[in-house]
Structure 1
Amino acid sequence: MKKIYLLSLVALFFFACNNKTSDNANESNGEQVEVENETSDPETTSSLAKYPFEEGIVKYENNVATMKTSLTLYFKDYGNVECSVSEVEMMGKVMKMRSLVKDGYLYSLSMDQKVGSKLKIGKENYSNFRFEEKLFEEKIKEEGSKKLGKEKILGKTCQIYSIQEDGVESKMWIWKNMLMKMTAEQNGMTMTMEVKKIEETDNFPAGIFDIPADFKITEEEDVDMDDAFEDDGAVG
């Protein structure tokens, strides 16, 4: 249970942290589009860019066991400023959370309790979470995982990968370094995450990138993510 729950969290973070790409992303409404523009040069975007267009909104859903999460990601300046708003339904209750990357900090806010935390993420740490498909393919070859066929999601041609580790079988659908879909199975339990809509726009809700003035914010110590994921007790 802990392993597959961790995978669901990884999926959320994976989608939000991408490497440099460039493409024209038109609004998608869930229907497949037969023609897409993939002629842009990936190197034309800044090396610090995480998303293939300057500003936009991405919506996706994540389901694991009895927990259902809907998340909307807002970003500008190619992801240097971004905010994710999630609603998690668990045991009949809905929890509203907001994560904000701004001014070198990652803010995690509980909208119901009006409290939050902030964690400093310097450029040297932030780059550790960037995703490069070539490096990813090298990694899965070392671990005996498989590169499968291709499939379109929201009109985007995705490469499918199959990964098996510690009793968990998972698949990832990747488009231009962006995680579009992920499934994982363990002991009969399935987790599914999939992007439902991608829209290039600057029509954001008012104040979406601001920290509410009446929230109590505490600063957290730096976390070594490598140590966290290597700790068997944290995932077993």
Structure 2
Amino acid sequence: MGKIKYIFIFLLIGLVDLFAGNRYEIKSGIVEYEIAGNAEGTEKGDTISGTSKLYFKDFGNLELTDERIVQTIMGEKEEERTVSKIVNDKMLTADFNDEVIYSQKLVLDEENPIQNIKTYDSFIQMGAKNLGTEEILGYKCDIWQLGEDKIWVYKSVPLKQISQSLGIIQIQQAKFAVFNIDIKDDKFKLPPFPIKPIEEIIGDSEAEFPNISPEQEKMMNEMMKEPKK
């Protein structure tokens, strides 16, 4: 089995109204998640575990996610850390291996709508099914199903998600959440790495593989959409 990649990205990448309004229906918040997952049909019991912290203020126009993942792949453990920051319509993602920060403009992600802004109207537009409500940490959440994915949302802030991708079932659930509080600016700091536009990475890939097929090019571009790890 090929290397399992951690696909679950809890960044809320733009819907059509991303730049026309607020990303969240709450002014500010801190949410700490626990992550667990496993791969179906694997003999070695490949698993994923980890934590994620979400900080946001100004209704999500400023946001930072700090994610730490441990993957057990064919009996071997790998650790990954991803820190991503959103400022208005721009996302910055820190790569701790190469010690660089990749920047990109947020765009509509039609092929992975579960990552889009999670307002009630956006779920309806995506054709999601409302399954009712459930309390998580005392917050009343709407439960939505979109394909095989389920997500629990409190005022557009996700507090739980069950997703399936590449044979991996993953659960990310909030273990702590507090809203409408003052958050210090140091919570939104990135490491002091140089910043590099993501377009340069895509350009380098095209130069390195000038004869790739359209299907291969599409696959590479899809990979480039994901924050670098």
Question: In structure 2, how many angstroms separate the alpha carbons of the residues matched to 1:217 and 1:96?
Answer: 17
Alignment partner, residue 137 of structure 1: 124
Cα deviation, residue 158, structure 1:
1.8
Alignment partner, residue 24 of structure 2: 51
Map 1:10-89 to 2 at 5 A: 12-14=10-12, 48-65=21-38, 66-89=47-70
Alignment partner, residue 172 of structure 1: 151
Question: In structure 1, how many angstroms separate the alpha carbons of the residues matched to 2:182 and 2:169?
Answer: 35
Cα deviation, residue 109, structure 1:
0.2
Alignment partner, residue 169 of structure 2: 190
> TM-score, with normalisation over the residues of structure 2?
0.63
Cα deviation, residue 69, structure 1:
3.0
Cα deviation, residue 59, structure 1:
1.2
Counterparts in 2 of 1:80 and 1:162: CA distance versus 1, 3 Å: closer
**For residues 135-159 of structure 1, what are the alpha-carbon distances to aligned partners after superposition, in whole Å with 9 as ceiling and x for unaligned?**
4235436xxxx43232111112222
Question: In structure 2, how many angstroms separate the alpha carbons of the residues matched to 1:85 and 1:207?
Answer: 13
Which residue of 198, 201, 218 maps to 1:220? 198
Question: In structure 2, how many angstroms separate the alpha carbons of the residues matched to 1:8 and 1:203?
Answer: 26
Counterparts in 2 of 1:208 and 1:51: CA distance versus 1, 3 Å: same
Counterparts in 2 of 1:174 and 1:104: CA distance versus 1, 3 Å: closer
Question: In structure 1, how many angstroms separate the alpha carbons of the residues matched to 2:121 and 2:155?
Answer: 11
Question: In structure 2, how many angstroms separate the alpha carbons of the residues matched to 1:152 and 1:17?
Answer: 26
Alignment partner, residue 214 of structure 2: none
Counterparts in 2 of 1:188 and 1:207: CA distance versus 1, 3 Å: closer
- Equivalenced residues, count: 187
Which residue of 77, 96, 107 maps to 2:81? 96
Question: In structure 2, how many angstroms separate the alpha carbons of the residues matched to 1:162 and 1:102?
Answer: 29
8 Å Cα contact 1:96/1:112 also seen in 2: no
**For residues 20-49 of structure 1, what are the alpha-carbon distances to aligned partners after superposition, in whole Å with 9 as ceiling and x for unaligned?**
9xxxxxxxxxxxxxxxxxxxxxxxxx9632
Cα deviation, residue 51, structure 1:
2.4
> TM-score, with normalisation over the residues of structure 1?
0.62
Cα deviation, residue 186, structure 1:
7.4
Cα deviation, residue 17, structure 1:
6.4
Alignment partner, residue 154 of structure 1: 137
**For residues 106-132 of structure 1, what are the alpha-carbon distances to aligned partners after superposition, in whole Å with 9 as ceiling and x for unaligned?**
1110235422211134xxx47984333
Identity within the alignment, %: 23
Structure 1 residue runs of 5 or longer lacking an equivalent are 21-45, 224-230
